[in-house]
Structure 1
């Protein structure tokens, strides 16, 4: 239990016990004397005659008894005084004192305890301490400790098993709980039995809260100190890295003024970057505009030239197509790309060389020059290095800066031309510093505004040129854009030196340095006063335009948001048979058939409430309308909404399409008849090709027998020509049969696993000898993201690719002055429902196709020009078969 312990010296509790024991002994002595006296009196009555000699003795005994009684009364008085003294001692202490008997009831409590518990003493003494003053949540736990203490199962000591000191809550009269720190002492009777516990307690509720607050504050402070220390260390490391990287960027920026060739810049850049990141190998490519490849530049950084010499030589011997492999992927991305385990990537052309040189990871960084990749840097390392956002950002900055330097080196002459243009231009050119103070203006500025250069240096253009009619909202936009260093285009009224106002179209661009900081602003302004005058004149023509609307062929009807007709032009009168004055003011539903006539009001209300239309608003649709005579008329209607003077209005433009409907119906009938004729033709072609193929097989068989007979050389050559012609004719028949199947929708496809790379490269390899003979270069690109196999018809796919690439080769040859080039690409176009969509693209630099012929690509076959047929003899079925089949 949470009884409070004594203070340790035990003086006043032992004195009280001694006093009570003395009183008990005196009472016992007095009672024994009285008993003995009674026996003696009885004996004396019997033997009075014999014991007269003892009378004096008895008298002395009575005197002793009186003395003992007086002593007893004195002892009781002393005991009462001692108890009063003890109670006063208890009351004047600054701690709570409570004595709990073995029966768990309060025997004594001091005034401090009563005040703490908010009870008068008479309400506490005799009450069960645990039931009355201990919170219910811990009551039984504390009671069990008290019971064990009384039973001698626990001891008052500082050992682990002792409860000399304990802390627990007590419950006040109000229900509030306070935390008390107790010191406990046992009370014994004269027989050495534990009869209770005396405890002293001190309210430590506030002190514990303060300690907890201080402890939490210390822990928080310690944690913040540790975190701040780590942050400072990290910031210091980051600062050092940033300083090193800023040095690199500064060095590269200075190359714009010192380097005479971009190759010198690349050499310096690769050396600095490799040294900074401890990358052992660095290299640069340069774009070749004459070929679809990147050329390896003689720009290398090798930390160990002897170790990496083989890798350098292997790289210098390879042509790198700009659209294939990792190089193509990086050039398409246009940003730095990091790759781990390059030796395991099939799209890395030098994987064997990189494995032999014990290199593992690589960074590829494209340099954008004038909007396209003009160079490519690559770096390699033998270890797997973490490529984080900081490195990516730095490399992107370095690449951007290198692009700027390259442009600066190659465009110095252009800059001189631009400077001359700025000097001679009639447009207004203003250059300001980043604080918007004028540094330079061109003569065009002086000509328009009247201010000379020396008059405006150091001044703010807005304060100089803006006036009372300058739009404050536009000025606010300009100030916001300049504050965030963004470009802006606006139109504004400015004022000349003479006070005359004029309109200008303003284009402001921030100029940044290599670190990306804004150094200047360039403002290019055009005097658009004349244009504004024209616009004003155009606005004055609006009334004239309204009168024109009244004479258009299409009907124009305007209604308000309740459906009431507000205007009805003459064309609408002609369509519906109503006069404008008869229909204006009526509901537009009068012109609609049921059920739309009864529902039109709800349509309008739903749109005005939710802005959700049934598909008519903003679109051109076909509807049926009702004329005044009750007849129906088909219309093409376009409805749009606009606001005028705060009121929502709707305008409908209507066109009578009765004649068009009739023509469309006739065209549909003609189309149906043509389709019947086409199916008949396809059936005929299928039958014909089948009937011809049967005897052709016999002819081919007989030719084979003839080849096996004894023939001279001239006969063998003739038979071979006959055999090739027969097979060519058989192929044509097969194509005719396939074409007829396609048109008859009877072509069946065989779906099987098709290795796309093998098929694509196989077509190129098959046609390579023919292309080489004709002086045509075939390049192949297979997207590394393509699945290795897809389900398709391999025969049809190969046939289509063969025909298309063969056509490209034929139409790209025969021009000695310009070598032919054919590109075959297989790329992943996307995924639909977990199915790969593959796009095959064949491009060539041949004679091309006239624009008016392009619409016939997927129509039944005809040669574009008869001259082409005679020159190239290239009949082909690929375009006709492709639309009916998608691999």
Structure 2
């Protein structure tokens, strides 16, 4: 009897130990499950993308804070909210989304639009993955991302890319002058290729390393926010040409990164045209000066014999003349005086013009 009682007690203690062990394991499992649920909740709640849970009819069963912000709704106002009525995909009928979910089909849209509560449409990318249990589809998880900023950046990149197609040379360097990006016009201007100039120092590409310009460009990149000057540059084949060099420093606050944008314009043709215009102006001024000097000399040479003629007419006036001869003399004297006045005016004008050129 005592032996039987002892066996029962030991059996009871063994069972009690097993119960305590199972209870501890269950409690540990509950703690791990709670921890996992907590981590999952934190991940979902703090995810930057909008995450939705939908049933087979497309109605919301769950919505994370990012999705609430994106849709401008609260978790308490989503009972009658049908997500797929707000989603637009190119060449897709939104009403087919619920059918795809019921059939357990996953789908993705790289560029679509979401109609917000106020009616505004924003560009989004989204994916839908079905939730199944024992072969039965219960709904789906929809992940949605606002790509407005990305599209804005892509548009800016496209604009920048088109700007780089300008016929004028453009190059972007790091803060030390090492070339990062060049356009085709730069390579054409300096008779080189992108593979040869990439990662080279810009001052080595556009000038002789021994020249003063080489040091000036290097110091300009180091010391100035931006500057510009008219310089003589050198192509890779040794040919020199006149250019307008403009350097601008740009700083990215987000990346804390400084770069330089260098613009080079070949002004050789402009300089040639300017020199031709200056030469034409000098030639015209020289011709005008010669003309004025010629007029001054000729006026003086004409006036000298004219004075002789006028003097002889004065002497003739003191002789005996009949009335008709007196009339002829007066007419000759009047015409001679008019001619003398005209020659004096030409001479005075020529002197003033010649003096202004001298």
Tell me the TM-score normalised to structure 1 length: 0.20
TM-score with structure 2 setting the length: 0.44
Which is greater in Rg?
1
**Structure of greater relative contact order (alpha carbons < 8 Å, 6+ residues apart):** 2
